[in-house]
């Protein structure tokens, strides 16, 4: 794993945007795995700026999102589809046939999970997956205890996650209790992973990632099993890291 510690959130976002635009200028078509949450917002703003400045060609890019709340309609303002539409799809003028996200209102969730797995597979797999991390170490919506071999699945959200995500909803009771998420096994099949984390709420998860044991109790530690992971974090998220150990 490569670790970069940025001075500011802006720098973190710029570093991530540079990696992504470098990758996008190479392989075509390119399958980019997307994350939601506050962490990648700066990165998405950077990508929009680069695109407007003519520095980022998205003609052959397809986007695959990690997850969606269940049950929740796409047009609900807090759905991850709405997040993507507002921050990514519309500003980047991406046509609907090149953006993919699990359907949060699927009647047959088992079939929806299989469909999403097939979709990724049929398009040749994810080339680069952007990841954030939950304060409890979750990736996507794979909560502590999830098998590292898991595939796209319906999951029950941890109480901690419901509390953390309540800030986007009017009331904690409005946060859906379930989600459809790519599994950890699905995520680990991506060719490259870029994990972003900022703020002190992520410091413990970062300590577990770099110094803890690899365990299904802390989903983010599964990234240590992947050969090409870049971690970009700010000083606050790095606060509990023993950086002298890192350099060895």
Residues forming the active site: 67, 136, 138, 143
Torsion of CA 152, 229, 123, 116, to 10 degrees: 10
C-alpha 60/C-alpha 28 separation (Å) is 6
Give 8 or 38: the residue with its C-beta nearer to ligand GLP.
38
Q: How far is the CB of 49 from ligand GLP (least distance, A)?
A: 20
Binding positions for ligand GLP, rule: CB under 6 A: 35-39, 66-67, 132-134, 140-141, 161, 165
C-alpha 134/C-alpha 145 separation (Å) is 14
Q: How far is the CB of 121 from ligand GLP (least distance, A)?
A: 21
The secondary structure of residue 89, as a DSSP letter, is I
Q: How far is the CB of 131 from ligand GLP (least distance, A)?
A: 6
Give 92 or 131: the residue with its C-beta nearer to ligand GLP.
131
- Give SS3 for 30: strand
Give 61 or 157: the residue with its C-beta nearer to ligand GLP.
157
Tokens of 174: 């409005």
Using only the alpha carbons of the chain, give its radius of gyration.
Answer: 17
């Amino acid at each position: 794993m490569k670790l970069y510690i940025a001075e500011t959130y802006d720098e973190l976002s710029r570093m991530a945007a540079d990696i992504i635009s470098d990758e996008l200028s190479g392989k075509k078509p390119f399958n980019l795995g997307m994350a939601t949450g506050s962490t990648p917002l700066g990165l998405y703003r950077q990508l929009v700026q680069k695109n407007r400045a003519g520095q980022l060609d998205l003609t052959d890019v397809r986007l695959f999102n990690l997850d969606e709340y269940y049950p929740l309609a796409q047009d609900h303002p807090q759905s991850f589809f709405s997040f993507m539409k507002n921050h990514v799809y519309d500003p980047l003028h991406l046509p609907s046939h090149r953006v993919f996200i699990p359907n949060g209102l699927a009647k047959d969730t088992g079939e929806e999970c299989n469909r999403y797995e097939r979709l990724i597979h049929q398009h040749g797999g994810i080339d680069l997956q952007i990841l954030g991390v939950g304060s409890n170490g979750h990736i996507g919506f794979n909560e502590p205890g999830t098998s590292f071999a898991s595939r796209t699945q319906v999951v029950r959200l941890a109480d901690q996650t419901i509390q953390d995500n309540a800030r986007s909803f009017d009331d904690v009771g409005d946060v859906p209790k379930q989600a459809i998420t790519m599994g950890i096994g699905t995520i680990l099949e991506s060719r490259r992973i870029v994990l972003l984390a900022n703020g002190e709420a992520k410091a413990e998860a970062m300590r577990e990632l770099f110094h803890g044991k690899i365990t299904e109790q802390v989903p983010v530690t599964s990234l240590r099993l992947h050969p090409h992971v870049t971690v970009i974090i700010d000083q606050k998220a790095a606060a509990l890291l023993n950086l002298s150990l890192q350099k060895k």
